Amino acid sequence: MQALYDLDKLAREAAITPDQVRMLKECVRQMHGSDEMLAELRLFRTLSAIRDGDVTFEVAFSEFQASENDIRLDEYLDIRDIGDSDRALVHEEVLRMASSERLIIVLYYYERLKFDEIALVLGISTEQVSRRHASLIERLRAKLGAPLASRLFRTAS
């Protein structure tokens, strides 16, 4: 997979050592498993926050350690208030998506990015993001049922 971001440059700008970058990468890999796109996005956000002075390396690393075994889809979608069987169904369906599809869902519903911002991240047109999003939501509605899907996914903008 081609990297979306120049993480080495960002790490230099954040003034953290190669060993610190390695430690963060390992935590991110443990959190996101084989989903390289989500792992890279998480590492980018963390390095950016360190560079911008929003958080120190030590705080970021301790937060990773505290949550590395507790990453759930609940972070991405508002599924805390639905029943266990529905929650399991949502997890199953979203995790079945290809990582590039799941990334659109995460960026839109969790990160609250707009389609034009997602297009920049993915290197595709806004129209392509819109079409892919619509297709993903239709697939989820078919699998989950319209009432449940409507409660989970806000209307695209």
CA-based nearest residue to 38, from 131, 87, 126, 110: 110
Q: What is the mean pLDDT of each successive set of 10 residues along the chain, which is 157 residues long?
A: 72 90 82 75 87 84 55 52 73 77 78 82 88 89 80 57
Domains and CATH numbers, the chain: 7-67 (no CATH), 73-152 (1.10.10.10)
- Side chain identity at 101, as an amino acid letter? E
119 Cβ neighbours under 8 A, 6+ residues apart: 125, 126, 128, 129
Q: pLDDT at position 76, please?
A: 52
Q: What is the pLDDT of residue 3?
A: 57
**Residue-by-residue DSSP string for 50-86:** HHTTSS-HHHHHHHHHHHTT---GGGTS--TTS-HHH
The pLDDT of residue 70 is 40
- Give the number of other CB atoms < 10 A from CB of residue 75: 11
pTM recorded for the entire structure: 0.51
Q: What local confidence, expressed as pLDDT, does residue 153 receive?
A: 67
